[in-house]
Amino acid sequence: MKIPKGLKMGDTIGLVGASSATPPESLQPAIEAVEKLGFNVVVGDSCRERHGYLAGSDELRANDVNRMFQDPSIDGIFSIRGGYGATKILPLLDYEMIKKNPKVFAGYSDVTAMHIAFNQLCDLVTYHTPMPSTEFIKQEMDDYTWSSFIKAVTITEENSYYLSNPTNQEMTTLVSGKATGQLVGGNLTLVAASLGTPYEIDTKGKILFLEDIDEYERSIDRMLTQLQLSGKLEEASGILLGAWTNCGPQNPDRPEHSLRLQTIFEEILVPLKKPVLMDVACGHCLPTMSLPLGRTISFNTETKTIEVVE
């Protein structure tokens, strides 16, 4: 795996909109938030365009991503937001060129589609992080989240370090054990959507991280079952579960007609007899951890520790 050069003060960040359109009122605050971190900013056309719910046409969004990787004056690339649309541009990306121009690429949620493609087709380590027009401009943005983000994108080549939750949020064990492997995954919806495509996630011998937002519990059940039936859960060496924000029953007044997420996890994941660590502070939540996708990690459910290893 190619670990991109860490960012430093004064570097230039390219902002791209590979998914949903950026609300006009959020663009300038997002630019200023990145500038406050000490970076210069180049704004891609996709951050200003709209094609229905998308940030411009598929071709425009893909061209923005390709251009930012190809331009030697751009040091890193931040997805300005998620939403929907990244999967649509995967066939239009120049993976050979991207492989030859490794750079920090950061984002999450819908951006999971691009993380999977870059990890597998470009052998590029990428970063599951909060994004400029969403988390960066929130008043709730906290020191833990900022610190985790900055460390992820600036100290990229650090050989060994721990990924730790905020001090008041403890990880919990679903299945005991230890596991080591390349960290892959992200948003469950996008991971499941990759199946049966040329960009299907490879989990063999890897650590699979999953999180999601605004899904009924039965939808989480369906997607996990899809991963189970496709062999993706069985092939993984271990599983990390992040935040499941607003993922509840369709009929909250009729709890007997639903299953708790905990029950779904127990019924699908426990029989695999693979280590599973839950409540990792990462996903559609604040505080949130930034993750180096593509790096090798080792986790221990007894000590509740996650270590990025050389």
Q: How far is CA 188 from CA 60, 181, 209, 257, 310, in A?
A: 26, 19, 9, 23, 27
CA 16 to chain centre: 16
Cα separation of 111 and 83, whole Å?
A: 8
Nearest to 3 by CA among 114, 163, 98, 126: 126
CA 274 to chain centre: 22
Cα separation of 28 and 24, whole Å?
A: 8
Q: What secondary structure does DSSP assign to 119-161, as a single string?
A: HHHS-B-EEE---TTTTTT-TT--HHHHHHHHHHHHSTT-S-E
Sheet holding 238-245, edge to edge: 161-162, 305-308, 296-300, 178-187, 207-213, 238-245, 276-278, 172-175
Catalytic residues: 109, 211, 284
Cα separation of 187 and 199, whole Å?
A: 15
Nearest to 18 by CA among 105, 101, 82: 82
Cα separation of 232 and 226, whole Å?
A: 9
Nearest to 116 by CA among 15, 19, 40, 185: 185
Q: Which two tokens stand for residue 244?
A: 């499941």
Cα separation of 225 and 192, whole Å?
A: 10
CA 30 to chain centre: 19
Cα separation of 97 and 217, whole Å?
A: 40
